[in-house]
Amino acid sequence: METNLNKTYDPKEFESRLYDEWMEKGYFASKPNKDKKPFTIMMPPPNITGQLHMGHALDHTLQDVLIRWKRMQGCETLWLPGTDHASIATEVKVVERIKKEEGKTKYELGRDEFMKRAWAWKEEFGGKIENQLKKLGDSCDWDRQRFTMDQGCNDAVKEFFIKLYEEGHIYRGHRIINWCPNCKTTLSDAEVEHEDQPGNFYHVKYFLKDSDQFLEVATTRPETMLGDSGIAVNPNDERYADIVGKTAILPLVGRELPIVADEYVDMEFGTGVVKMTPAHDPNDFEVGLRHNLEEINVMNEDGTMNDKCGKYAGMDRYECRKSIIDDLKEEGFLIKIKEHDHAVGTCYRCHTTIEPRLSEQWFVKMDKLAEPAIKILNDKELQFVPDKFDKTYLQWLENIRDWCISRQLWWGHQIPAYYCQECGEVVVAREMPEKCPKCGCTHFKQDEDVLDTWFSSALWPFSTLGWPNNTEELNYYYPTNVLVTGYDIIFFWVVRMAFAAMFCMNEKPFSHVLIHGLVRDSQGRKMSKSLGNGIDPLEIIDQFGADALRFTLITGNSPGNDMRFYMERVEFARNFANKLWNASRFVFMNWDEEMMNGVTRSDVEANLTLADKWIISRANNIVKDVTHNMDKFELGMALQKAYDFTWSEYCDWYIEMVKPRLYGDDVEAKKAALYTLTYVLETILKLLHPFIPFITEEIFDHLPTANGMIIVSEWPEFKEEDNMAKEEAMMDVMMDGIRNVRNVRSEMNVPPSKKAKVIMVPSEDKLEAVEAGKDYFKTLASASEVEVRADEVGIPEDAVSVVIDGVKIFIPLDELVDFEKELERLNKEKAKLEGEIKRVNGKLSNQGFLAKAPQKLVDEEKAKKEKFEEMMKSVEERLASIQAKLS
């Protein structure tokens, strides 16, 4: 073991080296161990098109903190990594490359050749984010890495589809779907993002057949008029009772439209008359089914108008809208145009406005599948942290619609459905059938569509462990313990994993879902390319180190809430790491290997001072607090407590207190000091390791009392014998006194180099504390000597006074004191005490408080009053003394 750390803290010197060492020694690896309790996290698989962004950095830091903590607690931890094939995003990238490099479309290449290019693209770019995650410190089992299209996951997807189909949960139907004209594929409801956009209501005349009477119909999408096949009014609307069953004429087209009565129509909204376009609106589709209205699809896949649109055929949908409005004006059908902002559905990938469109697709019936997923939340088998997200989860499941799972793409899991080319029979099977069960034909063609990416992701907690096979890993690690993810993915993924797990495994996928928010910029804006406000985590790591980035992300985080990212906080984190580094160097520089060889607690017990016992007890209680916060997933709070203890109590107070003993001649005193310094430092390093793993490992490697690597060391536990409440209370008195003396000297501009005698007059119950801790005033309060007296007799009248609970402190500073300033300070102290006394008197004179408050609380207020009045008496005496001196 090297004798000391490098003089300068430089994370570049050791972060990569330590990560490689962890990997080489297999510390991230996991295997079923019946002697250990498992703790499992499945990494939300980033897209193979992805690059590490700040959201990833937060998500992965939270997971790594939990895994490292549970590893130290002795669990058999499995953090299983993987990547997602991301059908739409990846196919777009591959198509763009083929077009740019070869000038071809995917159709010109053909499916087989396109798939070769896609797999080659995956091999080229798919591992990029893995290497970036390693720089962050991810301690996952890379040997178990999975990909949503690897053979095992592919088999699981087929099994899931077939199982759903055979049990009647999957069907192929002609229904309204969300269509992206840019990506040219269907989208599930969860993949549609709604944006408020400015638009218009176009009020149009629809004349009744053979009549001058017209209906006023308002629409936001005039281009869909070309697909109208009916008019609907509410059956309870007396205004239109006489026209139900009659016929209207579609403007510009002349098509006859039956007028039907349906309760879907809101009588209070608009004119109470709604045009029905069953092929281009999901609500109209349902009304159309009830009234047998014709379904007329008027758009092509790319958002242009099709050959059913007459003169408008071939126009882009928005070009068609403008042309139709012009024609309606010209022919006298347009009544008015009214501005109207409304929520417009857009593609979550390319943000193109989606087009509801009638199409033949595969769907999952969700009503029955949702019930077990709802039950596990209501029964508390699955819990959200924070629990406010229960509502989000339930709202989606309780109002769920059938899930469209087919996508018009080639990259992905091809649907295991085969069509007989003779009779059209559909066969769902693991492999292509040899012959048709209906007509005996042997000519089959597989469905060309692939499954929604989330269909495979829904299986992630158990397909990665070997399902549908009954593996040792599945039996040991499942169900998993925690899912860490953002609130924006509850609809996409959490819900689907829940119902898929209950369907396939009949057991919850995980016990807890730890929800985090978004990482926003310092102004609170979402980071985006368009705003140019994104911050590259890799640049932060390169400049400040991974520990500083992780520290920043955790201390600024609370479950479920967004956080703002400030560079100043990264610098603060780096400064803390530097403080810890230098404090550790100080300890190691003073270490005496020969003197400390084999020294144990029992060897130094008799020589432990008040400061030693205090810091040991405080460390013990911080262990308890941090562990409690970790158990509740309050990771930010846990780190804050560990940080506060390290910086303030250990570095700023304790290290300063022990310096005289380290530099003195008393060997036994030095032994006790060194034992305590290293014992508490080891505890600090262990508490901090899950959060800032690299620096803690590097320091631990130099810690003379430590063995092995910190990553596999034991998490500290609270010890009742180290819970020294009396010593903590005694030290609190001394620290309060030291702080007050420092404040007085600062207010009076007395430099630290000016030493002055300190006289302490404690009450009887504080005498032990004062006697045990008086020497700390020499080190920390610039005292030349410390005298403890039973009373104030003989104390110079010009002594500056400090009054704390149970102790009066006097500092004779005749030659240093500005008495005018001291008078001003004492008057401020008097005003402060007057305020406290007024407040407590107000409470004690409040009959309502006295009647309702517990007696303990009343007694506490009375004790405060006595304390403040005693302090006031002392301040007034001092004021009188100085005023007499100045008069």
Report the distance separating Cα 788 and Cα 767, nearest Å.
Answer: 9
- The predicted-structure confidence for 844-869, as pLDDT tens digits, reads as follows 999 888 888 889 899 999 999 999 99
- The predicted-structure confidence for 601-660, as pLDDT tens digits, reads as follows 999 999 999 999 999 999 999 999 999 999 999 999 999 999 999 999 999 999 999 999
- The predicted-structure confidence for 318-340, as pLDDT tens digits, reads as follows 999 999 999 999 999 999 999 88
Three-class secondary structure of residue 852 per DSSP: helix
Q: Cα 496 from chain centroid?
A: 19
Q: Which residues contact 629 (CB under 8 A, 6 or more apart)?
A: 635, 637, 638, 641
Q: What is the mean pLDDT of the chain?
A: 92
Are β-strands 38-42 and 76-80 bridged in parallel, bridged antiparallel, or unpaired? parallel
Residue where the block lists tokens 């620096």: 695
Residue 265's pLDDT band (cuts 50, 70, 90)? very high
The answer to whether 612 touches 672, Cβ cutoff 8 Å, is yes
- The predicted-structure confidence for 169-204, as pLDDT tens digits, reads as follows 999 998 888 888 888 888 877 778 888 888 899 999
Amino acid at residue number 506:
N
Whether the per-residue pLDDT at 887 is higher than 80: the answer is no
Amino acid at residue number 465:
L
pLDDT at 1: 44
Residue 813's pLDDT band (cuts 50, 70, 90)? low
The answer to whether 101 touches 24, Cβ cutoff 8 Å, is no
Are β-strands 444-446 and 417-420 bridged in parallel, bridged antiparallel, or unpaired? antiparallel
In our burial notation (b when 16+ CB lie closer than 10 A, e otherwise), range 640-653 reads ebbbebbbebbbeb
Residue 448's pLDDT band (cuts 50, 70, 90)? very high
pLDDT at 794: 86
Which residues are paired to 812 by β-bridges? 799
Rg from Cα positions in the chain = 37
Q: How many CB atoms lie within 10 A of CB 831?
A: 9
Report the distance separating Cα 800 and Cα 793, nearest Å.
Answer: 15
pLDDT at 463: 97
Q: Around 373, how many Cα atoms within 13 Å sit in the side-chain half-sphere?
A: 29
Which residues are paired to 334 by β-bridges? 204
Q: Which residues contact 870 (CB under 8 A, 6 or more apart)?
A: none
Domains of the chain: 30-169+367-402+455-516 (3.40.50.620), 185-356 (3.90.740.10), 561-710 (1.10.730.10), 818-887 (1.10.287.380)
Whether the per-residue pLDDT at 672 is higher than 70: the answer is yes
- Mean pLDDT, to the nearest integer, of 457-483? 97
Q: Residue 529 annotated as binding?
A: yes
Residue 814's pLDDT band (cuts 50, 70, 90)? low
H-type alpha helices, 202-359: 282-291, 317-330
Highest-pLDDT range among 513-522, 577-586, 790-799: 577-586
Count the helix, strand and coil residues of the chain and give each as a percent rounded to the nearest 5. 50, 20, 30
Whether the per-residue pLDDT at 816 is higher than 70: the answer is no
pLDDT at 839: 92
Report the distance separating Cα 863 and Cα 638, nearest Å.
Answer: 33
Q: Around 149, how many Cα atoms within 13 Å sit in the side-chain half-sphere?
A: 22
Which residues are paired to 728 by β-bridges? none
Torsion angle of the four alpha carbons 327, 328, 331, 334, in this order, in degrees rounded to the nearest 10:
-150
Report the distance separating Cα 207 and Cα 257, nearest Å.
Answer: 10
Whether the per-residue pLDDT at 11 is higher than 60: the answer is yes
Report the distance separating Cα 5 and Cα 577, nearest Å.
Answer: 13
